[in-house]
Amino acid sequence: MIGRLFTKASDRRKPQRRPRSVLLALVVLAAVIGITRLAAWSLVDDRGFDVFSTLWHAPLPADGPVIVAIDEPSFAEINAQWPWPRGLHAKLIRALRAAGAKAVGLDIIFAEPTTEEEDRAFAEALGPDVVLAGDETLISTAEADQFVRTLPLDRFLAAGARPGIASISLSGDGVVRSLPDISDSFAGELARAAGLTVEPPAYGTLMQTFGGPRTYPTVSYYQALDPEHFLPPETFRDRVVIVGLSLQNAPTVAGGGADAFSTPYTMYTGSLVAGAEIHAAIFDNLRKGFGIAAASPEAALLFLLCAAAAALVLTWRGTGWPTAIGGLAVVIAMVAGSYLVLHFGRVFISPIAPSLAFILITAGQSTFDYAAERRSRREITRAFGQYLSPELVERLAQDPSHLKLGGEKRVLSILFCDVRGFTTIAEGMKDDPEQLTQLINRLLTPLSEVVLAHGGTIDKYIGDCIMAFWNAPLDDALHARHAVSAALGMLEAIDRLNDELHAEAEARDEPFTPLRIGIGVNTGECIVGNMGSTRRFDYSALGDAVNLASRLEGASKLFGVPLLIGENTAALVADEFPLFELDRVTVKGRTVGTAVSTVFGGIPDDAARLHRTFVTAFYAGDIETCRGLADRLSGEIPVLADYYRQRAAAGG
């Protein structure tokens, strides 16, 4: 069942997940492209532009326009209602011209006549260095849309003044972001009046703003009427001057205000910027080339596709914390790249849609992988919970790459443990199967716990026999030591169980026969993996080393010891356990003899050396020496007394 339920993590992250990754990317791309086609999405990109264009505070050009503000102090000083007499504007133009202004733009509509005296005085002050504001309004009817212009009086244009359309284009959220693309804009005509050559920007060109209200040098209207008295002499020299409404107490978004607009900086200041300052910013954008081009739809689509490709590459082999860190780095790189392109290349390509697509693809793939990982962990826990300790199961669940369930060659240490004379015990309980089952469970439970506690894998239970192995599915460099330690622990566990059973038998006033176990441990190369039929198979091991471990368990009774260890295992643990080599035996199924050993603790060194002398003499056929040592060794190592006597008698 294991092999069909799951594969290791690296297998899951191969071809079968890749079509899903591509499909996810295509779905996300289609969704994001669809979203960006919605009218509301432009507001999202607009906000992105606001942040980018204000993140770096663009320096105000030193020779930029000066604002002459129609403001609160001017209303107080002039003490007249609006509109002010045109003769007053004529006086202002002459004063500015005398102060050295290169050009003067009046952001005031002069489309209606007033008194003859005032209009004549105003016309006499005009000239080609003066720009008068015009207006352009879109009239929508059922038949068509039409732009209607309101221009200054012909009388004023005949006097040499330039008309400039001062209408300001707003984005859908009411924020000024774009430069006017008409040839006769107010700022464009002002530049020409100052002797500059400028071309109208391409449609959709975005504007670089420089700050909030009153960023530009600003003086009050009443001060400009008498600059020699109120202002330094260089205030207007060789400067372009824009006259318009600009209150000292800048209107706010909440309160609104006449001829005041939101700019990207409004999200920081909350204040509106006067139209005169908007025209000043447009003027500087035109003459300095500060305009920011919006990326073409093709470039935006390419950016989106690159982001999706980056997400695919990042998640192609799997997801995890490195993916999250890498994903964050990619998003930061996209945002930073967009900002640098705007700052140095004067092109705005929004990173929002590409970042959204990238995040959705990586998050979606991570979600799929997380669900697969959770499913894999559940399957591993369910499949290996009966074989391994909870700690090892958790390690496998954390890193399933350790699994190679299709079958592999590994050097394992194998343990077989069987109960001596259990057939007789079972025969005695044949009329009480429940008691027999309880006894088997009481026997196998502590023995299994010892195996699991030492990091072993329980292969199977065969009646009262346990087969276990070490070094699969998880690597265990000390597998031989752990197998022998488990064997000794099982002997201690059976002693504790016998104590419990003895006490229970005494309490029932029944005779008690202790349980005895035999254990065989061997190390060698095996095939380990899924074994069985197409309908049922288990994680198991097979090979000559497994067979020998089973034979050693059976042979242990012939030596009168509870534990026999094969020579490969003995070679690996010789420095860690007190080993006593017993013989070279040829077990059933093998033609080559193998040295077998057992483990005893608490044996004096002299007795151990004497035992080695006995074994050496036995191998050499020196039976007389064996007979001379047998009685002495039987006293020194009583548990091997029968072994010594049998070997001493073998040559008789």
Q: What digits encode the pLDDT tens for the residues 563-605?
A: 999 999 999 999 999 999 999 888 666 677 899 999 988 888 8
CATH (one of 1.10.1200.10, 3.30.70.1230, 3.20.20.70, 1.10.645.10) for 404-601:
3.30.70.1230
Please count the other Cβ atoms lying within 10 Å of the Cβ belonging to residue 152.
23
With beta carbons less than 8 A apart as the criterion, state whether 541 and 412 touch: yes
Phi-psi category of 238—alpha, beta or left, where left has phi over 0 and alpha has psi -120 to 50? left
With beta carbons less than 8 A apart as the criterion, state whether 211 and 265 touch: yes
Q: What is the pLDDT of residue 6?
A: 34
Q: Could you give the CA distance from residue 274 to residue 276 in angstroms, rounded to a whole number?
A: 5
Per DSSP, the residues of 356-410 read HHHHHHHHHHHHHHHHHHHHHHHHHHHHHTTTS-HHHHHHHHH-GGG--TT-EEE
With beta carbons less than 8 A apart as the criterion, state whether 101 and 311 touch: no
For residue 425, give every residue at least 6 positions away whose Cβ sits within 8 Å of its Cβ, in sequence order, or none.
Answer: 419, 439, 513, 515
Amino acid at 366: S
Burial category of 430 from C-beta neighbours within 10 Å (exposed 0-12, middle 13-18, buried 19 and up): exposed
- Cα torsion at 249, 252, 257, 261 (round to 10°)? 110
Q: Could you give the CA distance from residue 418 to residue 557 in angstroms, rounded to a whole number?
A: 11
Cα–Cα separations (whole angstroms), residue 537 to 11, 396, 412, 542: 21, 20, 20, 13
The pTM of the full predicted model, rounded to 2 decimals, is 0.65
Q: Which residues pair with 218 in a beta bridge?
A: 67
For residue 228, give every residue at least 6 positions away whose Cβ sits within 8 Å of its Cβ, in sequence order, or none.
Answer: 99
pLDDT mean by block of 10 residues, the chain; 652 residues? 38 61 92 93 94 89 95 94 95 97 97 96 97 90 82 96 95 93 94 94 93 94 96 96 90 76 92 95 95 94 96 88 92 96 94 96 90 76 62 65 69 96 74 83 94 92 92 92 97 96 91 92 92 68 94 91 96 95 80 88 86 90 89 87 83 48
Q: Could you give the CA distance from residue 419 to residue 517 in angstroms, rounded to a whole number?
A: 4
CA angle 172, 178, 180 (to 5 degrees): 115
Per DSSP, the residues of 271-340 read B-EEHHHHHHHHHHHHHHT--BEEPPHHHHHHHHHHHHHHHHHHHTT--SHHHHHHHHHHHHHHHHHHHH
Q: What is the pLDDT of residue 12?
A: 44
Q: Could you give the CA distance from residue 598 to residue 561 in angstroms, rounded to a whole number?
A: 7
Omega cis (within 30) before 322: no
Residue linked to tokens 């104590």: 499
Residue among 548, 535, 403 nearest 474 (CA): 403
Please count the other Cβ atoms lying within 10 Å of the Cβ belonging to residue 135.
14
Q: What is the pLDDT of residue 197?
A: 93
Amino acid at 173: D
Q: Could you give the CA distance from residue 621 to residue 648 in angstroms, rounded to a whole number?
A: 10
Domain segments of the chain as ranges: 2-50+295-382, 59-288, 404-601
- Cα torsion at 234, 240, 243, 247 (round to 10°)? -70
Q: What is the pLDDT of residue 424?
A: 73
Q: What is the pLDDT of residue 14?
A: 52
With beta carbons less than 8 A apart as the criterion, state whether 239 and 96 touch: no
At 188, is the secondary structure helix, strand, or coil?
helix
With beta carbons less than 8 A apart as the criterion, state whether 483 and 415 touch: yes
In percent, the amount of the chain with pLDDT more than 90 equals: 65
